Amino acid sequence: MKKLSISAVAAALLLAGCGDDAAQTITTSTETPASASSSKTLSEVSISNPFFSDYQTPYGIPPFEKIKLAHYKPAFMKGIAEHKAEIEQIANNTAPATFENTIVAMERAGQLLSKVEYVFYNLTSANTSDEMQALSKEMSPLLSSHSDDINLNAKLFARVKSVYDNQERLNLNTAQAKLLKDNYISFTRNGANLNDTQKTTLRSLNEQLSKLSIEFGENALKEVQNFKLVIDKKEDLAGLSDSVIAAAADTAKKQGLEGKWVFTTSRPSFTPFVTYADNRELRQQMFEAYTNVANNDNEFDNKEIVAKMAALRAEKAQLLGYKTHAHYVLEERTAKTPENAYALLNKVWPAAIARAKAEVKDMQALANKQGDNITIAAWDHWYYAEKIRKAKYDLDEELTRPYFSLEATLDGVFYTVNQLFGLTVKERHDLPKYHDDVRTFEVFDKDGSLLGIFLTDHYVRDSKRAGAWMNAYRKQHKVDGKNIKPIIVNVLNYPRPTADQPSLLTFDQASTLFHEFGHALHGLLSDGVYESQTGTAVPRDFVEYPSQVMENWMTEPQVLAKFAKHYQTGEVIPQAMIEKIQAAAQFNQGFGTTEYLAAAYLDLYWHTLETTDLKDTAQFEKAAMAELGLIDEIAPRYRSTYFRHIFSGGYSAGYYSYIWSEQFDADTYDAFKENGIFDQKTAQSFRDNILSQGGTDDALTLFKKFRGRDAKVEPLLKKKGLVVADKASKL
């Protein structure tokens, strides 16, 4: 059965570096405002509603320019009604339950609802508005209730169970058997075996959690929107590059503050500021603003919401027969149990924290040598790390930025997938798009056939939440033998071009472009039958694997030489600079790994609670980090009150997934290095066994088919330059 509401998936593919930003409008300036459209009757809106007929557009891309705010609610309501009727028809079918009339019928049901969800939840992340956020909050309990109506439908479950109990007679293929199993388990995990009183309780818990999740995200979004560091003295910009200063001036101008400079807590603004700004007091101000999002005891404070959600999740898990929320969630992940997730984190933590402490000592020594007369604090970490990087590797990241223009880096991504899989990417300027920033591409296979449509949305803006992610406006699937092509989107938050230069990326930002296209490949190269199994429909601790693998090619000299060219002179990045980049690859891994692991542990601490008592969020987090042994000079990558991954993004009890996936990534790239980074046999095996398969088979089985064995942790530790401690820490 297709999962209802893609909102969580949209938020979670965050891809890496998920965050929190803001809002604008869904279409062009010609859109009728919501207040003005209220005079229209429902029938008038319905007649013109683009969701109620086939999209008359190239490749069936949503006709964004025709979709108005007023269209969403009628489409949601009709979609729910149609889906409900289809489910009732399946449940009340008097014919014996079969795979086709029950499992496949459920898979095909709800087409209109899926259609509107794909557009609405993509845009509430990428191009939102206050009105869309309000509608999301309004629809959330309705969708939650509709989902419960299906999951708790006794007649429907009886038919699914009948097929499941008789599957040995059905001669199902691997994908069909997994679809059946997943449907059966989905029902049991969603309360099908509960009594009526328990089902009522479950409905209430689901509704409360749905509302709180949306409120959490809105609060974090508003806090980011509301903070800005306004600088009016040029001397306070000391240390910052011309490109960073120009971007801040551009932001100020758009906010009516011409002649000043504005910095925000969005990553493209925050990171360069705390890395390069010489003014320590301003670095501290930025750091404290970033690490206290939704933690300011105001109307947007999330501490109470965090505590409530953790308690409600624990209650729900126990109602369903699980020890904790983490045990409930990880049952469907490749880790299987929180104990296994902890075990991996515990293998990495001792070496990571030891390296982090050594890095702080190096920073303090540098500060002392320079006569700075300070004690290194958390807001100093990026700043002094960059100075040490320059001294140790003679690598100034700002000097690399001119070689990583957005356009050139995108060319590098396309070159890489051409060399690996024979793909070609052709830009179109006449296809529908939801914002002027969006670019559209056709993606062709090596035989010239169309694989799918790719949209990119690169620049930071107020209508977009922070971070980077991939999603789909349509997933690949097959109906009656016809292959429905995917429509995939990558959304990022890069600095806009200025009057003097294009969008220039840091090395990390360029790497993120490769990462997100790795997710896009997972969607574009999909080759399955059932929509619920295609593309990135894999366990959450496996989904980052293809994207992390993709990052590896960016640092290869052969690839860098093809695309890393100076935006003004066209000069290829010097070999000496490439060597410095490679030498610095393991630099600051103590900090990077430790801040990530701290967040992963924090997530598991919240979700291995066995009590439903409300916690004091601030005290709980403080105690958790003390038990972990996190040093004061490092904050968790995400603190509880703005940890959108786990409280509004679908990653609850799953933030460990990134490093879990890195096991597969490191081991996979070892195979490419063994055989050649563009070895066609290895690339084809990776495509056939991983990228094209989606969730058609067990994820660990798919990896074993590709690699010939289970993944090993040693390549991961070697890649990070971390030494395994003799004895793992006990947490």
Locate all alpha helices (DSSP H) within 31-173, ordered by sequence.
34-37, 42-47, 69-91, 105-108, 111-126, 130-151, 154-165
- Looking only at the bridges linking them, the beta strands covering 482-484 and 439-444 are unpaired
223 in catalytic set: no
Position of tokens 């991996």?
Answer: 344
Angstrom distance (rounded) from CA 527 to CA 575:
40
Angstrom distance (rounded) from CA 700 to CA 111:
31
Rama region for 619: left / alpha / beta (φ>0; ψ in -120 to 50; rest): alpha
Cα dist from 217 to 275, 640, 719, whole Å: 27, 12, 34
Contact 287, 271 (CB under 8 A): no
Buried b / exposed e over 491-506, threshold 16 CB at 10 Å, is: bbbbbbbbeebbbbbb
Position of tokens 């690399």?
Answer: 400
- Give me the sheet containing 469-474, strands edge to edge: 424-428, 439-444, 450-459, 487-494, 469-474
Question: Strand pairing partners for 477?
Answer: 484
CA-CA-CA-CA dihedral for 615, 617, 622, 624, to nearest 10: 60
Angstrom distance (rounded) from CA 432 to CA 417:
25
Cα dist from 85 to 3, 330, 363, 606, whole Å: 17, 33, 65, 39
Position of tokens 């993509």?
Answer: 122
- Looking only at the bridges linking them, the beta strands covering 424-428 and 261-263 are unpaired
The whole-number pLDDT of residue 373 equals: 95
Contact 513, 553 (CB under 8 A): no
Catalytic residue among 516, 531, 551, 633: 516
Angstrom distance (rounded) from CA 103 to CA 184:
10
- Domains observed in the chain: 7-220 (1.10.1370.40), 401-428+437-583 (1.10.1370.40)
The whole-number pLDDT of residue 723 equals: 61
The angle that helices 242-254 and 267-276 make with each other, rounded to 10 degrees, is 140
At residue 21, φ and ψ (nearest 5 deg) are -135, -145
| Amino acid type, 531 | E
The burial of 100, by beta-carbon neighbours within 10 Å (0-12 exposed, 13-18 middle, 19 or more buried), is given as exposed
| Amino acid type, 716 | L
Containing H/E element for 291? helix 280-291
Number of H helices, E strands in the chain: 30, 9
Locate all alpha helices (DSSP H) within 370-460, ordered by sequence.
381-393, 397-400, 406-421
Contact 700, 335 (CB under 8 A): no
The burial of 225, by beta-carbon neighbours within 10 Å (0-12 exposed, 13-18 middle, 19 or more buried), is given as middle
| Amino acid type, 24 | Q
Contact 143, 134 (CB under 8 A): no
The residue count of the chain comes to 731
| Amino acid type, 267 | R
- Looking only at the bridges linking them, the beta strands covering 450-459 and 439-444 are antiparallel
Locate all alpha helices (DSSP H) within 153-279, ordered by sequence.
154-165, 174-189, 196-226, 242-254, 267-276
Cα dist from 612 to 214, 309, 319, 397, 535, whole Å: 21, 10, 12, 47, 36
* Residue ranges for the chain with pLDDT beneath 50: 3-41, 724-731
What residues have CB less than 8 Å from 679, skipping those under 6 apart? 672
The whole-number pLDDT of residue 581 equals: 84
C-alpha dihedral sign at 508, 249, 573, 390: negative
Cα dist from 366 to 239, 354, 371, whole Å: 17, 19, 9
Contact 71, 45 (CB under 8 A): yes
Contact 538, 695 (CB under 8 A): yes
Contact 388, 366 (CB under 8 A): yes
Q: What is the DSSP string of 524-566?
A: HT---SSGGGSTT-S-TTTTTHHHHHHHHHHT-HHHHHHH-B-
- Alpha carbons within 13 angstroms on the beta-carbon side of residue 581 total 25
The whole-number pLDDT of residue 27 equals: 27
The whole-number pLDDT of residue 650 equals: 85
The whole-number pLDDT of residue 201 equals: 97
